[in-house]
Amino acid sequence: MGRLTGKVAIITGASGLLGLAGVRAILDEGARVVAMGRSAKVEEQAKEFVAAGADVTPFRGDVSSEQDMAEVVDLAKRTYGRLDTLWNNAGLTDSGWMEHDGDVTTTSLEHLLHTFEVNAASVFLGAKYAIPVMAETGGGSIINTSSMQTAGGDMVMVSYGASKAAVEYLTLSVAASFGHLGIRSNAIAPGVIPPPGAEHVPIEAWPEWSRPQSLIRSSQSLDIAGEARDVAAAVVYLASDEARFLTGQVIRIDGGVTGHLPTLSERRKFIAS
């Protein structure tokens, strides 16, 4: 408790599974939070946090909009007078979108460009507007959500994987360019993190989660299911002064899926089924 006391954080995608866990964890460590999301859910969740005594300011906006990203950073500065952490967490992950993300011959250019706008351009915009504000108070921590998908080639999800690879390069670029201002830039690369209870749902009832989870679990070094709190713990660490000498890194939170030699045989069977 108290590892982030006095700090101010912006979290995008704050009402989703990982974002909400991050909001809770960062608040528990004493920070104040500007929670950004597209729907009214982010405002409803903020009210619950405030009622419990936390300091949360909601902001409804689109991370692919330059105006909205500029406004959320300005909101943090006007409300709290500083910005210490930006977690660029928002991204496209819903099953309806993933159904159209195949290989380079089956994925439309429109789909690719939209994916880059939400997953990668948002990271660019967040850093663009956060860095000058962070520099005013001696620096800060920018945390970007990448994916285990960048660890190797895949036969589907070409736009998702490419956009997350762009996120990792942007992470490195910011680390190299602004370290002299005291700004750290790192990425986290989660594996498949199922919603609570998903492991108990039959594959037929929830195939978009249960089928991938079964494949990923069989590839993990650790025989446990990842949870949102595992990702949130890494975010808290990167936001804290404990990570003061850590920048330009990608932390993989995937149970060891990307830590050993892969095989395509099971993946081919999975895609064909």
pLDDT of residue 218: 75
pTM exceeding the 0.95 threshold for the entire prediction: no
Predicted confidence (pLDDT) per residue in 170-217, tens digit: 999 999 999 999 999 999 999 988 776 555 555 455 555 556 666 777
124, 144 contact by CB (below 8 A): no
pLDDT of residue 126: 99
Tokens found for residue 42: 């982010």
Predicted confidence (pLDDT) per residue in 229-240, tens digit: 999 999 999 999
pLDDT of residue 220: 84
Residue 38 has pLDDT above 80, yes or no: yes
Q: What is the mean pLDDT of residues 139-166?
A: 94
pLDDT-based confidence at residue 262 (cuts at 50, 70, 90): low
Q: Domain boundaries in the chain?
A: 8-198+226-262
pLDDT of residue 265: 67
Q: Which CATH class is domain 8-198+226-262?
A: alpha beta
Which residues are designated catalytic?
A: 160
Q: What is the mean pLDDT of residues 2-10?
A: 98
pLDDT of residue 1: 77
Residue 168: partners with Cβ closer than 8 Å, 6 or more residues away: 144, 146, 150, 187, 189, 250
Q: What is the mean pLDDT of residues 129-139?
A: 99
pLDDT-based confidence at residue 268 (cuts at 50, 70, 90): confident
262, 148 contact by CB (below 8 A): no
